[in-house]
Amino acid sequence: MPKPKEDWSVALMDTGIDSKTQKRLFLAKNAIKTDRFMLTYGDGVADINISELVRRHEYLRQKHGVLGTITLHSPRSKFGIVGTDGDLAREFIEKPHQDKFVNIGFMLFEKEVFDHIDDSDVMLETSMIPRLAKEGRIGFYHHQGFWGYMDTYGDYLHLNELWNRERPWKIWQD
């Protein structure tokens, strides 16, 4: 049985080693040929169901007119949490799930998001995304599956160990 044709493409661009995320996105504008596109930072891996992310974005687009949908996760704390009362430790919870969400860097945007950025060398996370979020134009998809990030050499070692053992983010077929 032949493999189904996949209707997507990946573009890699050299936007400069020191460019921040908004400038990188702005420089990619002319390479994006569709009305909707996905963006990732490239320093994380996850077992995200892309079809669910797209469906969620379409729902949010229709209901709220969002321009983008970011993927959120509620990670475990790296540390045990201790509850105190006066001089005594009363509660200890080992590495609980946090009650706040983090942006894990898998995003879907409408091309009209380019109307809201310029070539300023700033971070999307401190410029466009919070500004559009305040306007109610950023939705979210809550990913509850596997997410791994590579911010340090220790993260690199951990992800390579996982790849050699179980590959929890590998959801495609060879």
The tens-digit pLDDT sequence of the chain (174 residues) is 566 667 777 778 899 899 999 999 999 999 998 999 999 988 999 999 999 999 999 999 999 999 999 999 998 888 998 999 999 999 999 988 888 899 999 999 999 999 999 999 999 999 999 999 999 999 999 999 999 999 999 999 999 999 999 999 998 876
Q: What is the pTM of this model?
A: 0.85
Going along the chain from its start, the domains and CATH numbers come out as 21-165 (3.90.550.10)
- DSSP-assigned letters across all residues of the chain: -PPPPP----------TT--HHHHHHHHGGG--SSEEEEE-SSEEE---HHHHHHHHHHHHHHH--SEEEEEE-PBPSS-EEEEETTEEEEEESSPBPSS-EEEEEEEEEGGGGGG--S-S--GGGTHHHHHHHTT-EEEEE--S-EEE-SSHHHHHHHHHHHHHT-TT--S--
